[in-house]
Amino acid sequence: MMDIRKLTIKTAAMALRKKEISPVELIEKFYERIDVTDETIGAYISLEKEKALEQAAKASSMIDDGSSLLAGIPMAVKDNMCTEGTKTTCGSRILGNFIPPYTATAVSRLGEAGAVMLGKLNMDEFAMGGSTENSYYRKTRNPWNTKMVPGGSSGGSAAAVASGQAIFTLGSDTGGSIRQPAAFCGVVGLKPTYGTVSRYGLVAFASSLDQIGPVTKTVEDSAIVLNAIAGRDKRDSTSIDTGINDYTQGINESPVGMKACIPVQYLSEGVAPEVRSKVQKAIEYYESIGVRCEETSLELADYAIAAYYIISSAEASSNLARYDGIKYGYRSNDFNSLLDLYKNSRSEGFGDEVKRRIMLGTYALSSGYYDAYYKKALKVRTLIKQEFDKLFDEYDFIIGPTAPTTAYPIGEKEGNPLEMYLGDVFTVSVNIAGLPAISVPCGLDSAGLPVGMQLIGRAHGERTILRAAHAYEMGNPFPIAEEVSHGL
C-alpha cells in the first residue's frame, strides 16, 4: 500500500514510470488526503480538481518517454502567483474575485514539465506576516501540532508538504517567507539568488526582495524543482541567465574540504537554547565529515531587521497603490465620491497588517523623511551586501538557525507585531543581499517541534549549499510530521 505522505519527487516518479500507479490515480489519492486533512490544516484556499485530472491524463506520454521527473507529480502553488482562469487572492479580500488572464512564469514552466497543480495555497495577506494568521480566508495550522502556527507567509506551502497534501509546493520569500515556515514545519525550503527565478506573474510585495522558490521533503527535490523554474525570462527584466543547467549536478559529492562560518550573532542569547543546541550539533556533524567550521562576526546583522522593514514597507506602499476599487478586485458599495470609493475600498479590502505596512512605507517615503529613513536603509543594504561578500571571499557557506525559536501557539503574537517581526532576524539579511539560502530540518525540540538550520551561499552558489545541505540530510534522516497523534 502506497503511503503518499512519504512520497518524494524521485520516489513518485519511479512509481509512475513502473506503472505501480497511474498519474490520475495519484492525483485522486492526494485529493482524498486533502479531503481528510485540510479542514484541520487549512493549507488550501482553492482546489482545481477538474483541471488537475486533465493535466494528469496528459502527463502519461511524458512519463513514458522519461523526458521529465516532474511529469504527473502533484504540487500546489502559493496564492500570490497568477494562474490563468484560476482565482488568485493573495490571501486578501481585495483580490477575492480576481481571476488572472495569464500564468506566472514559474508556474507555467512547471506545467510544461508535466507537474500537476492541485490548487492554490493559503498565505499571510500579500505575504505580510510570519504565521499565516493574517489571511482573510482562514488560519493555517502546523501539522506537527495543530495548536501551533506553521510560520509564514508561505505557511500553506510548508503545511501542505509536511501534511502530505502535495509532494512539493512553490512559495515566495521576501524576508524569510519560504525558509521560516519550512523550519517550523520540518521540511526543506530554498530561497534562490535574486533573479534566478522569474517574478513575472508573482503579485508584488517588495519587488527588489521577492523571490519564488520550492518547498519540498528533500534537498534533492528542491534542486529538481529549481531546474524547472530557473532561467531568464524576457518578461522579467530582473531575471538572470546564470548559465547553470542542472542544480542536481554534484549534489551527491562530499563537502569535505569546504569552509563554513558561523556568525556569533546567529547563536546569541536571543536564540532559544534548544534551537542553539540543535544547530551546534549540526555544526559538529559537518566537522565530523570534513567541513572546516569557524566562528566569525557579521556585525551589520543587527541592522538588517530595521533596514528590511523600511525598504519592504516602502516598496509595498508603492506596489499596493494600484488596488483602488476601480480596475479590478474588491469595490466598496459605500461611497459618495471618487475619494470615498478609494478610501472605503482599501479600508474594507485590506487587513490590519497590510494597512500597517502601507502606513509605515508611505511615512518612510514622505517629504522630510525619505533621506532620514528610506535612503539610509538603502545605504545599510549596500553595507550588508559588502559584508557578506567579504565573508564569501574566505568561506563557502554560512551556517545558522533559520529562526530563533520553533513554532509558537496560534494567537500568541497577533497582538504584538514587533515581536513577530523579530522572528525574521536570521533570514531578512539574505534577501537584502540577494543571496541564496536553504532551510533544512536539524532535529526536534523537547515539545516535538522541528528546528530549522539555514545555510547561506554566495550569489548563484545554489549548488554549493544544496550539496552541503544534502550531505547533512543523508547523515541525519528526518521523520515526516507525526500526524497520527493529531488524527490526520
Q: SS3 sequence, 331-388? A: CCCCCCCHHHHHHHHHHHHCCHHHHHHHHHHHHHHCCCCHHHHHHHHHHHHHHHHHHH
Which among 41, 46, 36 has a CA at the least distance from the CA of 140?
41
Handedness of CA 251, 433, 257, 455 (dihedral sign): negative
Which among 358, 411, 351, 328 has a CA at the least distance from the CA of 136?
351
Amino acid at 450: P
- 455 pairs with which residues across the strands? 399, 438
Among residues 172, 177, 312, 313, which one is catalytic? 177
CB 256 within 8 A of CB 292: no
Tell me whether residue 268 is one of the annotated catalytic residues. no
CB 184 within 8 A of CB 143: no
Tell me whether residue 177 is one of the annotated catalytic residues. yes
Helix H or strand E segment including 284: helix 273-288
Among residues 108, 153, 198, 313, which one is catalytic? 153
Angle subtended by helix axes 23-41 and 9-17, to nearest 10? 150
In which residue are the cell numbers 530557473 written?
230
CB 134 within 8 A of CB 158: no
Tell me whether residue 78 is one of the annotated catalytic residues. yes
367: cis peptide before it, omega within 30°? no
Among residues 78, 191, 217, 278, which one is catalytic? 78
- 437 pairs with which residues across the strands? 191, 456
In which residue are the cell numbers 478609494 written?
342
Instruction: Let me know if 447 is exposed, middle or buried by CB neighbors in 10 A (0-12, 13-18, 19+).
Output: exposed
- Active centre residues (catalytic): 78, 153, 177
